Structure 1
Amino acid sequence: MNSEQPRPRGCTNFKLRQLGRVVARHYDDYLGQAGLKGTQYSLLSQVVTAGPLRAGELARVMRLDNSTLTRTLDTLERQGWIVRRVGEDGRSRVIEATDAGIARRDEAKRCWKQAQQSLNARIGEAEVVRLHQLLDELTEALEDDPDQDDVEDAAASRAS
């Protein structure tokens, strides 16, 4: 009998991105009925529930890089679903949902709920709970990656 633990095979980054694309398509199919993509819905929901807030706070909470955040905010602003106002200090921008944005988010929330229920049915609720727990644990474990500091330091050295 072989008592060895299975060893990881393949690239974790590729597998996570592959799963991410499949899950994103699933949600996009449902949210498209409300005229939103999953990333837009997530961002708009965060602004509706936690706003008004500064872009840096939003990026941190959503764990988005600035370019992705800016692109998505630009789209939401063009649609009239958010506004960016000058913050209290005059230098920062505060992001706030408009009435149209709140209404769009409410409409999309029904679509999101259908997507979530469909995913739960396909995977099984117990598996979804287990998946969420694992993802939360892994996100926390990887968030403060000491190896990333070394990579950033090396990149800065090459750039200077």
Structure 2
Amino acid sequence: MSAGVELWSTSQLLTAAAHAVSNSWNRQLLSIGITHGGVITLRALQSGGPMTQADLARHMRVKNQTIGRTLHLFELQGWVLRAPAKDDKRLIFVRITNAGAAILDRAEELEKTLASEDLLPEDLRATLINIIQAQPPQPPSRIRGTNPFH
């Protein structure tokens, strides 16, 4: 533990703790070929169904370019499919594949075994959920296209 950590601001402590937990998870998840961020992306697609790349980026609170690079790699792995909207080829829809669902299942099983989960008291989890849910949602995209996966 760093000397003087007691003097850090709450935001510094949250950021450092998030990075430490994410790095621990990544070390474990890389053994099956995915990162923690990748698990979050696939989980969002599995729970939200097909959506535009822009809507996925907003949902995950990242930039469209960031999610685009991730989706490109996932497409190469066969974990997602991307296709232009039926009525507007500029819009790209994305959905999880069976292979993506399978790697997500493996990752979620692995996550259950991670020791760092045991270090997180349940009241901390509830507090973090409250902090995140208190943030205003990002507005949905005004541009709509017809989902090519339906």
Give the TM-score, by structure 2 length.
0.74
Aligned match of 2:121: 124
Q: What RMSD, in angstroms, separates the aligned Cα atoms of the two structures? A: 2.3
Letter of the 2:41 partner, please give it: L
Cα pair 1:120 1:128 within 8 Å, conserved: no
Aligned match of 1:154: none
Cα distance in 1 for residues equivalent to 2:126 and 2:50: 30
Letter of the 1:97 partner, please give it: I
Cα pair 1:59 1:66 within 8 Å, conserved: yes
- With over 3 angstroms needed to count, the CA separation of the structure-2 counterparts of 1:65 and 1:13, relative to structure 1, is farther
Extract unaligned runs of 5+ from structure 2.
1-6, 139-150
Cα pair 1:33 1:111 within 8 Å, conserved: no
Cα distance in 2 for residues equivalent to 1:119 and 1:136: 23
128-137 or 105-114, larger mean C-alpha shift: 128-137
Cα distance in 1 for residues equivalent to 2:63 and 2:9: 23
Extract unaligned runs of 5+ from structure 1.
1-8, 145-160
Which residue, 39, 42, 54 being the options, matches 2:40? 42
Aligned match of 1:101: 100
1:110 aligns with 2:120: no
How many residues are paired up?
131
Moved over 3 A (4+): 9-17
Cα pair 1:82 1:96 within 8 Å, conserved: yes
Shift of 1:40: 0.7
Letter of the 1:82 partner, please give it: V
Shift of 1:133: 2.1
Larger Cα Rg: Structure 1 or Structure 2? 1
Cα pair 1:34 1:111 within 8 Å, conserved: no
User: Deviations for 1:65-90, whole angstroms, at most 9, x for unmatched residues?
Assistant: 11211111111111111111121223
RCO (CA 8 Å, sep 6+): is it higher in 1 or 2? Answer: 2
User: Deviations for 1:49-105, whole angstroms, at most 9, x for unmatched residues?
Assistant: 212111111111111111211111111111111111121223211101122111111
Aligned match of 2:80: 82
Give the TM-score, by structure 1 length.
0.70
Cα distance in 2 for residues equivalent to 1:43 and 1:26: 18
Shift of 1:10: 5.2
More helix by share: 1
12-21 or 80-89, larger mean C-alpha shift: 12-21
Shift of 1:110: 0.7
Shift of 1:47: 1.3
Aligned match of 1:156: none
Cα pair 1:84 1:94 within 8 Å, conserved: yes
